[in-house]
Amino acid sequence: MNKGVAVTGMGITSAIGNNTAANYNSLISGKHGISTPEVLKTIYKHLPVGEIKISNESFAKKLNLPENHSYTRAALLGALAVKEAIFQANLKLDGDTGFISGTSVGGMDATETYFKDFSEGKTDNNRFIRAQHPGFTTEKIAEYFEVNGFVSTISTACSSGANAIMLGARMIKTGKLKRVIVGGTDCLTKFTLNGFNSLMILSNEQCKPFDENRKGLNLGEGAAYLVLEAEEEINGKPVLGRISGYGNANDAFHQTASSENGEGAFLAMQKALKTAGIPVEKINYINAHGTATKNNDKAESAALERIFSNKLPDFSSTKAFTGHTLAAAGALEAVYSLLAIQNEQVFPNLNFSNPMLNPGFIPVTNLKEKPIDYVLSNSFGFGGNCTSLIFSKNGI
């Protein structure tokens, strides 16, 4: 079996906490972070979101940034999560350290705010024009920590964070990097809230993943990053877990919808299991993508049935805690997967009441204690880009 790539640090900020410990406490106590928009200035005050109730100004002060900084909200969230991960890993940043970050909207919160100023020729906020490109967010985080080695951005919609983790693990396994910081960040914006609302897939109440009466998703914001290190670089430091398997596939079915039989999700999970070199029976818990839309939950359930048949392990979606954080989702749920392994706990699928008529799977709805050696984490994006990661206990 594949021993995997070592995870030596992790950091996270989300609607349920601004560090790993706070997120874990919310998960085990069933405390969600879904509310109505306050920091985001929008006309859709009635739509529930997983918003972090801290202003950009407060985040900038935490990072000791000057007043005229050009860090957008996604960059601020990302820098805070990276800072925690680096601290936990006791990481020495040098030329052999890489940084791979996933984001979808990047700094669009700034460009949509100052668009009118740009169009009228005002120059006070021109430093934010480049923030429209997702890579700008990555560059600002790398600049803050003076990471000058391999720096890259992945933007594959909701699988971005998971794909960043996969790429980092592959680069370590092939010897291209000794250590790499991987994950994703996205913030709430008018563009995403309006866009998802136009697709008619937002719920006007707290989302209900895998429930027959689900109405749609709640958008969220957040950031999470892992420090990955090659085996020879660990030097006795604590290992939080390992990335044993990964797989990416695309069902090429539709721009925003998954195929009904979950072909992309099926292929991604199949590839992850093959990379890990383990049979399906080894998976103890699945952190499902579980967005609570009619299409996603049906497609993911079909794919799970194809992979696991009648041997489906415990599964749950944690998006009812945080909302769907888009590019950051796979990274947030990577942290939750590692917490599940470390604490031997399955986190609950909130708001579930009625099983879907087909195939009738029932997620774990209360905190469950059990031995966990392997966790499968799914992240599926628009455009059919599907990614599955397998995390394992240290030494497995």
HSE (CB half, 13 Å, CA atoms) of 368? 17
Query: Which of the following is catalytic: 32, 158, 207, 386?
Result: 158
Query: Which of the following is catalytic: 32, 187, 207, 324?
Result: 324
- In whole angstroms, what is the distance from residue 210 CA to residue 33 CA? 19
- In whole angstroms, what is the distance from residue 380 CA to residue 342 CA? 25
Instruction: Note if 324 is an active site residue.
Output: yes
Instruction: Note if 46 is an active site residue.
Output: no
- In whole angstroms, what is the distance from residue 373 CA to residue 209 CA? 25
Q: Three-state DSSP class for 38?
A: coil
- Does residue 355 have a cis peptide bond before it, meaning omega lies within 30 degrees of 0? no
Q: What is the largest CA-CA distance in the chain?
A: 62
Backbone angles phi, psi at 286, to 5 degrees: -115, 120
Q: Three-state DSSP class for 324?
A: strand
153 bridge partner residues:
101
Query: Which of the following is catalytic: 187, 207, 289, 386?
Result: 289
Instruction: Note if 207 is an active site residue.
Output: no
Is the Cβ–Cβ distance between 390 and 243 less than 8 Å? yes
Of 220, 18, 217, 16, nearest to 105 by C-alpha is 220
Beta strands in the chain (DSSP E): 5-13, 49-50, 97-102, 151-154, 179-186, 219-220, 222-229, 241-250, 285-287, 314-316, 345-346, 368-369, 374-380, 385-392
Is the Cβ–Cβ distance between 274 and 282 less than 8 Å? no
* 371-377-380 Cα angle (round to 5): 160
| Sheet with 385-392, edge to edge strand ranges | 151-154, 97-102, 179-186, 222-229, 5-13, 241-250, 385-392, 374-380, 285-287, 314-316
Strands 97-102 and 179-186: parallel
List active site positions. Answer: 158, 289, 324
